[in-house]
Chain A
Amino acid sequence: GENVEQHPSTLSVQEGDSAVIKCTYSDSASNYFPWYKQELGKRPQLIIDIRSNVGEKKDQRIAVTLNKTAKHFSLHITETQPEDSAVYFCAARSLYNFNKFYFGSGTKLNVKP
């Protein structure tokens, strides 16, 4: 099955700096890669996603890049703000096996004011 690895496990940045979280996956059949943000005590919610036919996608301060050849994808947050502090999960969805989602282990981002 799919194996998704996520790094780093914790990340601390100063407000206004950029943050980058990286994930790798193993199954070349995976074709959809969402990123979820989980604020303390709340449910994970989708913040951005990318499909396998696209190399990069941006939404305001958030961007995701995908390298299918190397099987890795990254989340980039620019001009970080304290409200960006949360746990971020990457995921890969397999085209086969009923389209299950496989999640990374999470990155706890702390943005210091």
Chain B
Amino acid sequence: DVKVTQSSRYLVKRTGEKVFLECVQDMDHENMFWYRQDPGLGLRLIYFSYDVKMKEKGDIPEGYSVSREKKERFSLILESASTNQTSMYLCASSKIRDTNTEAFFGQGTRLTVV
């Protein structure tokens, strides 16, 4: 059974805190993604990575950074959390060379910034 695992299901952080969201996949996928899910806005891409130490900005990268030191792990970092970053965060992974395969999602992290 394929697995994308996010380290936390729920998080509550204070404004200004540095927040780390962790994601691990065991499918040897090259691509990893971080999406933010808000009602009525669908899944918006924050950052993605196509290889170790490689990263590309998505549609809404402001206020976020990422780290990919190992192929299986992709971290999303909120440098200084703000209330408008309260949201559901979804990690996903996929193969890069086979274009006709799906993305697999983690279970999501619901982050509340107070």
Contacts and interface: CB of A to CB of B under 8 A. Distances in A.
Interface string B34-50: 01000011111100101
B43 A43 contact: no
Contacts of B92: 101
Interface residues of B, number: 26
Interface string A74-111: 00000000000000010101010011111111100000
B99 interface: yes
A99 B99 contact: yes
Contacts of B103: 34, 91, 101
Nearest to B50: A98
Interface stretch (A11-19, A44-52, A60-68): A44-52
Contacts, number: 60
A interface residue count range (under 10 / 10 to 19 / 20 to 34 / 35 or more): 20 to 34
A24 interface: no
Given A34-B103, A43-B105, A44-B90, A99 B42 contact: no
Contacts of B41: 105
Contacts of A101: 33, 45, 92, 94, 103
Given A99-B94, A105-B42, A31 B99 contact: yes
Interface of A: 6, 9, 31-32, 34, 36, 42-46, 49, 51, 89, 91, 93, 95, 98-106
